[in-house]
Amino acid sequence: MESFQKPLCPLCRQADQVKTLQAAYESGVQRFAPPPMPVKQVSMIKYIGASVVVITVCSFFVIVLLGPDLPDPVRYIQAGITIAAIVAVLVIAWIAFQRVVQGDAESQQLFPAWDQAMENWSRLRYCTRDNIVFDPQQNKAISDEALVTLLAVEAKHAEADQTTAGIAQSASR
């Protein structure tokens, strides 16, 4: 049976106070929180509110103005307005759905960067004795700025977009 050996801290050269970032976070070190999963929040309140207003107004007109003593042209106008209101609510729902789909697509584009950040978070270690984060593969301490960069999701995605744009421009020349 092979035993698991903790990596040694690059400063103190000991392993007894070395832990994963997850263990450090779970013990209360908030700065080692895992990278948040990218989720695009899409506000739907405007669309829902507009739909409720249209349905309320349409319902009011149907209940209050609908009567047997109304002339036929008025009924036809009311039916047309009701159909227009239904179509308006359907259009509002379609627009809202498209915004949700777009938000999901934007989130999905961030998943590769999030996977890389999670891989970094899982690999890195923390020495409580020296209060440093280090990479056991390179056996080097990592600054707080470098740690933020390694665990960032949005910045990596932006860099990837810039690199892709640069490659596209180079290829078109």
pLDDT at residue 3 greater than cutoff 50 = no
Contact between 47 and 171 (Cβ < 8 Å): no
The pLDDT of residue 2? 41
pTM score, whole prediction:
0.59
- Is residue 164 over pLDDT 50? no
Chain segment 108-153, per-residue pLDDT in tens: 898 999 999 999 999 999 999 999 999 998 889 999 899 888 888 8
C-alpha distances out from residue 92 to 46, 56, 85, Å: 10, 15, 10
**Residue 70, pLDDT score:** 74
DSSP string, 98-146: HHHHHHHHHHHHHHHHHHHHHHHHHH-EEETTTTEEEETTTTEEE-HHH
Q: For 36, which DSSP code?
A: P
Strands 132-135 and 125-127: antiparallel
pLDDT tens sequence across 80-117: 888 888 898 889 889 989 998 998 888 889 899 999 99
